[in-house]
Amino acid sequence: MSIRIRKIGRIGQITLQRPEALNAVTYEMVLAIEAALDEWREDDEVACVLIDAEGHKAFSAGGDLQFMYDTASKGDFDAGRNFWRDEYRLNAKIAGYPKPYIALCQGFTMGGGVGVSLHGSHRVVGESSKIAMPECAVGLVPDVGGSLLLARAPGRLGEYLGVSGYRMNASDAILAGFADYFIPEAEWRGLTETLIETGDWSAVTALARDPEDGPLMATREQVDAHFAADTLSDILASLPDDDWGQATAKTIRAGSPLSTNCTIELVRRARESDEIRSALQQEYRFTSRSASEGDFVEGIRAAIIDKDRTPRWRHAGIGDVSAETVAAMLAEPPGGDIGF
């Protein structure tokens, strides 16, 4: 199997084992992690949970987009909906887990990888960490509870990170509230051994240190000034005509106009509710429609299948997506809201 789950010493350890696929999270992995967490919840031998991954490039670069494309492109939209429902249920369980949940996130940690790690209580990053929510580029929205993480970021970083897919380094991730601790990756093996022996999560805090400031710190003032505008069109119109403003606008415009407009609304709804289940429910309203009524199939085709990087989105530009269209994508789906 592409995941190893075991009790060892005082911990329950979950190790993602698909390094050749950048540890993309499959449906089977989601169900296996959930079953383990349910089993360990009342097991006194398990003092804490540790999730890590094999390979240097990625903790997990996202969910199993190939599976999603293969099913949705054939008109099977229920396969993706089932995946998302069960995945989101797992994300909520991690967020509310009663035991310390420690995640070691090297390399790429994006999308579905964020969902199984960064809702935990002790989120560790290192020198190679690259954390992002780049879903707009493939016709989705920041999901797996990502809209709530974005909403809780200081100022208007949430809107910026959500529509730009900006890759955070360790310092950026801690600033934005996506991570808690920086520990040099050379020390992770020793940390794991200590946790196995003692089950004491304070071993994490004992090794943590301050990383060097990342680029995000320097752009905070600009982000807050521009990304508080009412609509995404207003945000784009306000961006300065400098290198940062031009690069930011170009990145946003490259994404699905439907996705980016809905992302702004999702982040702001999540900021109002500040509750994981509410955020996941709102995300599911979009993702459940993303293949049948959105740009998801085309986005995956352009980025992963044909790799031509020229998606033909349903809307020509950001301003072509009406408020009514956003509201329709985020309305309760015909099959009902996700249940927990």
Helix (H) or strand (E) holding 195: helix 188-198
Q: How many domains does the chain have?
A: 1
Q: Is residue 321 part of a domain?
A: yes
Helix, strand or coil for residue 16? strand
Smallest CA-to-CA distance from 284 within 142, 149, 178, 153 is with 142
Return the percentage of the chain with pLDDT > 70, whole number: 100
Q: Is residue 52 part of a domain?
A: yes
DSSP annotation of 49: E
pLDDT band of residue 339 (cuts 50, 70, 90) is confident
- CATH number for the domain spanning 206: value is 3.90.226.10
Residues 294/208, Cβ–Cβ less than 8 Å = no
Over residues 94-99, mean pLDDT: 98
Domain that holds residue 36: 1-334
Q: Is residue 269 part of a domain?
A: yes
User: Tokens 């995300």 identify what position?
Assistant: 283
pLDDT band of residue 1 (cuts 50, 70, 90) is low
Task: State pLDDT tens for residues 102-117.
Answer: 999 999 999 999 999 9
Residues 126/106, Cβ–Cβ less than 8 Å = yes
**Residue 219, pLDDT score:** 94
**Residue 335, pLDDT score:** 85
Task: State pLDDT tens for residues 249-284.
Answer: 999 999 999 999 999 999 999 999 999 999 999 999
Residue 168 backbone dihedrals phi, psi, to 5 degrees:
-85, 140
**Residue 39, pLDDT score:** 98
Mean pLDDT of the chain: 96
Residues 204/124, Cβ–Cβ less than 8 Å = yes
- Please determine, for residue 127, whether its predicted confidence score (pLDDT) is greater than 90: yes
Task: State pLDDT tens for residues 283-320.
Answer: 999 999 999 999 999 999 999 999 999 999 999 999 99
Helix, strand or coil for residue 59? strand
Burial class (CB in 10 A: 0-12, 13-18, 19+), 335: exposed
- Please determine, for residue 163, whether its predicted confidence score (pLDDT) is greater than 80: yes
Q: Is residue 167 part of a domain?
A: yes
Helix, strand or coil for residue 251? helix
pLDDT band of residue 12 (cuts 50, 70, 90) is very high
**Residue 340, pLDDT score:** 85
Q: Is residue 340 part of a domain?
A: no
